[in-house]
Every structure is written in structure tokens, then in C-alpha cells.
Amino acid sequence: MTALDALTPQAPPPAEVTGGGGAGPWRSAWRRLRRNPAGIVGAVIVLLFVLVAVLAPLLAPFRPATSEWFGEVTPTSVPGPSDEHPLGLDSYGSDLLTQLIYGARSSLVIGVVSTAVGLAVGALLGVLAGGIGGWVDTVIMRLVDVLLSIPSLLLAVSVAALLGRSPVSIMLAISAAQVPIFARLLRASLLAQRGQDYVVALRSLGLRQRRIVVGHMLPNSLGPVLVQATLTLATAVIEVAALSFLGLGDPNPAVAEWGRMLVTAQDRLDQAPWLALYPGIAIAVTALGFTLLGEALREALDPRSGR
């Protein structure tokens, strides 16, 4: 290289080499996610669950919680599958397939809203603790430690019992158990970003701490939080069913819930075991779908899995 070449500004490498700037890691994560069979299975399950919940009025053959066929249910038998009712009837004379479809809608709405609330509050606490530090970090983390010392389901049951039986109380109860998880995770991600070279460079340029945290550190710390949100949705679906099973769900009998279906099936297990089998399978498969998708996202966003 001559002296003239050394003084001549060199063109930046093409986007294909650098991975297209900041979008490179996300593109690589998307490619790894598409190659993960478990992630594909989880995404398909989650997509089917969402479609069934959203399109419930179109997919359900009857109205939810109708007792039109209650006369066909006797103390010793429950009608099984037939041409009119593919999965049979429940103990109250309602179409079991319709109850399952509308139960998916209840689980989706409560699970998504509770996770969103828990993520928002937990992210706020995590940003304050990891971004400001000092006594603010100490106070917030001690509060988080207290909440983490209580089992999540026990905390959710306690909050739901205090607030009363309603969908809003269930959402708040489940989100209260999720707040400390998101707060601690985001705080740890922000603390890991503090010593990075780009943060030191931004401080040397005189940028304010708030701008550095919100504009640069926070976007680079959201990957693990998004993965945890997907995994938490699986827990939320199970906790919604658990609270309904314990009698803390929606008091309106016209609202279909998978947990309530398990309760009503207890007295009929010897006569019609499918009354508990179908909602149990729905809960397990839905939770499995979110778990597989969350684990696939974690592996896709982990740079060490790029090999």
C-alpha cells in the first residue's frame, strides 16, 4: 500500500459482510429460529391457539355455557361424542367442544394481559434499579427479593383472594407474581451492559445517563426479557386454570374456562373421564407450545449458539 492509498478514505464494507448494521444479530437469530424443529412446533401450536381464541365465535358450533341439552344428562351418565356434538356434552348439558374453544379465548386474554402488565411494571423497576443504581437499586432489589421468596402460585392466590373473583383480579394476581422475575432479569441485563465499550464511549462524549440507558442500553437488553415473556405465557396459562380450579376465576357461569371445566368434571370421572381429559390436554399442549417457542427464542438470541 502506497502513502497515497493510506491517505485515501476507504469505502465501508458492504452490508452483507457486516450483517446489515444493527439488524445483523436479529437476522442471524431469525435464521437459527427457522432451523429449530422444536421452535417450529412451538410456533405452530401457539399460532393455532391464538387463531382458535380469536376466531372462537366462528369456530364454535354453539353458544358457550348453554344448557339446551341438560335433559340428556342423567345422574349416572353423560352423553359422549355424536354427530351433533363431536366431543359430547359436559355435566351441565353444554357442548364440550364449544366450551373448549371459548376457554382458549379466556386463557389467551388473561394470559397476555397479565404478562404485559407484569412485563411493564417489572421492566420499569429493572430500568430504575439497573440504570440508576445506588440506594434506588438497593430498595427495589430488596422488594424484589421479598416477592421472589413467595411461591408464584401462592402469591397469585393471595392477591386474587384479596381482590375478589373477577377477570381483572386474576390478571393482577398473575402479573404480581411475574413482576419480580422481569425486574431482576432486566436489571441483570443492564448491569452487564454497563462495562461495554460503547457505553464508556457514550459517557466520554458527555451524554446524560438517562439517554444512555433508555436509548442505548435498554434496546440491547431486551432480548432475554422477550424470551422470558414467552416462557411466562406458558406459566400464565397454567395459573389461569389453577385459579379457576380453586374457585377464584370469573364468577359468571356463562364464561367458559378450562380450570372450571376440570372442577365440574371431578364428580363424573368414573362415568365420563373425557370431561377432564380434553381440557387437561388443552392446557398441557398450550403451555408446551409457549415453552418450546420460548426455549427456541433463547437459543436463537444466544450468540454462543451461532456455531
pLDDT of residue 25: 63
In a domain, 119, yes or no: yes
pLDDT of residue 47: 93
Query: Which residues constitute the domain of residue 255?
Result: 36-63+87-306
Give, as one character, the DSSP assignment of residue 302.
-
Angle between helices 24-34 and 37-54 (to 10 degrees): 90
In a domain, 21, yes or no: no
CB contact burial 148-184 (16+ within 10 A = b; e otherwise): beeebbebbbebbeebebebebbbbbbbbbbbbbbbb
pLDDT of residue 17: 38
39: how many CB neighbours lie within 10 A of its CB?
21
Instruction: Look at residue 70 and tell me whether its pLDDT is greater than 90.
Output: no
Q: How many domains does the chain have?
A: 1
Rounded to 5 degrees, φ, ψ at 12 are: -65, 155
In a domain, 112, yes or no: yes
In a domain, 204, yes or no: yes
Reported as a single tens digit per residue, the pLDDT across 288-298 is: 999 998 888 88
Instruction: Look at residue 233 and tell me whether its pLDDT is greater than 60.
Output: yes
Reported as a single tens digit per residue, the pLDDT across 128-139 is: 887 777 888 889
Using left for φ > 0, alpha for ψ between -120 and 50, and beta otherwise, residue 20 falls in left
| Residue bearing the bigger pLDDT, 168 or 13 | 168
pLDDT of residue 161: 86
CATH number at residue 95: 1.10.3720.10
Instruction: Look at residue 6 and tell me whether its pLDDT is greater than 80.
Output: no
In a domain, 260, yes or no: yes
pLDDT of residue 18: 38
pLDDT, averaged across the chain: 80
Reported as a single tens digit per residue, the pLDDT across 32-56 is: 778 888 889 999 999 999 999 999 8
In a domain, 20, yes or no: no
Instruction: Look at residue 197 and tell me whether its pLDDT is greater than 80.
Output: no
pTM for the structure as a whole:
0.78
What number is the average pLDDT over the span 95-113? 88
| Residue bearing the bigger pLDDT, 300 or 237 | 237
In a domain, 125, yes or no: yes
Residue 286 confidence class, pLDDT cut points 50, 70, 90: very high
pLDDT of residue 45: 93
In a domain, 141, yes or no: yes
Three cell numbers at 160?
386474587
